[in-house]
Structure 1
Amino acid sequence: MELVFRKQIKRRWKAAAIYTTMAFVFAVAAYTFLGMKHDPLLVNLAERLLPASLEHPLGTDHLGRDVLTRLLLGTKLTVGYGLLSLLVAVIIGVPFGVISGFKGGLIDRIFMRIADAFLSFPDTIVAIVLSGLLGPGIENLLLAIVVVKWVNYARLVRSTVITERQKDYVTVAKINGVSSFRIMRKHLFPHLIGNVLVLASLDLGKIILLISSLSYIGLGAQPPAPEWGAMLNDARPYFQSNLFLMIYPGLAIGFVVLLSNLFGDYLRDKFDVKKEVES
């Protein structure tokens, strides 16, 4: 009884923390777009490296641009593009996994060979190589992320479908003449939602780290884009004289990654998904 009570308190605490943080993020985003006073791309060398003030709450960077404005608008590039690449990976991977797991046979064998080829190397290494081959740019980076991430969702969905298709309710549906598409849509997809949502929420933090790290080394967003990893790279020469130029985007990255992990833990508890999903 006490253990159940502790689990409920822990789950409610996570939910409260997540919803409060999300409300804060939305409020900040609304303030950014409705009350923004500074142009994040406007260069003003007369105001370079200013300390925090009422006019510039987080100071200015080496080109005189308002750090707070660039940090807030960087959400669009870092988090927005992370969500976009994640959505595309899910849209590609889920149908492949459903078809491979439900049909089996030659289709499943071909898919498994493709998946094994993609999973032979770490995601980060493959993304770096693809980004280097395609050339610097956020579009090429997103394409590289989609290429390395869709396989994870396809394999997860495939394993779930293989487990579910062997159960009696699927067999009864086939005997009653229900079409394969209807079986997949009505009976299999509800079992996939929890697994996919948990993996996606946990994956978002990894993708944001990947976007930021590759932008930091010059393979992602290019100047003057206010992306958090690119902001870290711009602030690197001023590490000793103006440390906060690197601290602010670093804290933003860490905050969003922590939020995505908390949300993933909450969804895992809510849907009662096994921890193997994280692997």
Structure 2
Amino acid sequence: MKEFIRTHTAFSLYSALVLLIVIIAIFSPWLTPHDAFASDLGNALKAPSETHWFGTDKLGRDVLSRIIYGTGLSLFMAFTIVCLVAIIGTIVGSIAGYFGGVVEMVLMRICDIMISFPGIVLAIAIAGIMGGSVGNTILALTIVGWAKYARLVRSLVIKVRQEDYIAAAIMSGGTSSVILRRHILPNSMPLVVVTASMDLGIMMLEVAGLSFLGFGAQPPTPEWGLMLNEGRQYLQLAPWLMMFPGAAILLVVAIFNVWSDSLRDILDPRQK
């Protein structure tokens, strides 16, 4: 373990920061100094102080508490979306790459249709039709995000399928499901994992973007993008309402991005 930390110092440091964010996200309801939902109109729009380090919003709610509470929601939504798009894309890409023919053509044309639309624009349209909510945000971003993984996995499966050990497995009587599960998918997973880790930060930005536009989490949910939207009208009077949630988004996304880059360097040294 010590040797690994010395060899991969940057990855170890970034992993520690990611672990800290995950711990904050898991225990966020118990880490907030104040009730993230409690209103106190007598303390509305108070500047940062010893009592409220990040100030209060228009309803007198503690901004720091809402940012900490929002960590859990933002990370949960991003992680759920990335897992769903990776699983769906992997299944579709594996089927298309392994069986080929008409199956591949139909699935890849569907992928082409999905990729041809700007992802965030299509997500806004879907979320707008279904209505703004956490569940609909997850569903909208999942619908527009799986096609990239499908095309990635398809290309990997086509490459692996040409290996000699796959031909040997077929000749020995291995079924398609067994070959996919034991031989093809394990060889495709490292790149899928790296891609998924790199998408965590992107998904957090897109979740915040949808909430900022009113198509994501709805009041009084303490979500970072929604907090930016609520603080927008008080930019001159209470700039901390946008400054601190924006800083939280920037910091967390940057940490996940540098962590995913270092993870890629470990799993695929050729990318260094």
Question: Structure 1's 242 and 98: CA in aligned 2 closer, same or farther, altered over 3 A?
Answer: same
- Aligned partners of 2:127 and 2:215 also within 8 Å: yes
2:170 is matched by which residue type in structure 1? K
Give the corresponding residue for 1:64. 60
Q: Tell me: CA distance 1:23–1:138, structure 2 relative to 1, closer, same or farther (3 Å).
A: closer
Q: Give the corresponding residue for 1:132.
A: 128
- SS of the residue 1:119 aligns to: helix
Structure 2 SS opposite 1:195: helix
Report the alpha carbon displacement of residue 26 of structure 1 after superposing the two structures with TM.
Answer: 4.3
| Aligned position for 1:75 | 71
- Seen in structure 2, the aligned counterparts of structure 1 residues 231 and 109 have a Cα distance that, compared at 3 Å, is same
Correspondence for 2:261: 265
Q: What is the alpha-carbon distance in structure 1 between the residues aligned to residue 14 and residue 197 of structure 2?
A: 12
What is the aligned length?
Answer: 268
Q: Tell me how far apart the structure 2 counterparts of residues 212 and 10 of structure 1 sit (CA, whole Å).
A: 36
Counterpart of 1:175? Answer: 171
CA contact (8 A) 1:90 1:150 kept: yes
TM value normalised by structure 1: 0.90
Percent identical across equivalent pairs? 39
1:66-109 deviation per Cα after TM superposition (whole angstroms, max 9, x unaligned): 11110011112222111111111122111111111111111101
**What corresponds to 1:247 in structure 2?**
243
2:215 to 219, 224, 232: 219
Question: How many angstroms apart in 1 are the aligned matches of 2:128 and 2:155?
Answer: 33
CA-to-partner distance for each residue in 1:176-198, whole Å, 9 max, x for gaps? 11221111111112111111111
**Aligned residues of 1:194 and 1:273 also touching (Cα < 8 A):** no
- Contact between 2:24 and 2:71, CA under 8 Å: does it hold in 1? no
- 2:196 aligns with 200
Residue 183 (structure 2) aligns with: 187
Q: Which residue of 1 aligns with 2:95?
A: 99
Q: 1:128 to 1:9 in 2, by over 3 A?
A: same
Which has the higher mean CA deviation after the structures are superposed, 141-150 or 262-271?
262-271
Stretch moving more, 257-266 or 35-44: 35-44
Residues 106-164 of structure 1: CA distance to partner in whole angstroms, max 9, x if unpaired? 11010011011111111111111111222222222211100011111111111100000
Return the offset for 1:202: 1.1
User: In angstroms, what is the RMSD of aligned CA positions?
Assistant: 2.0
Q: Distance in 1 between matches of 2:166 and 2:136?
A: 41
AA of the residue aligned to 1:192: S
Structure 1: runs of 5+ lacking an equivalent: 1-7
The 10-residue stretch of structure 1 (49-58 or 187-196) with the greater mean CA deviation from structure 2: 49-58
Instruction: Report the TM-score when normalising by structure 2.
Output: 0.92
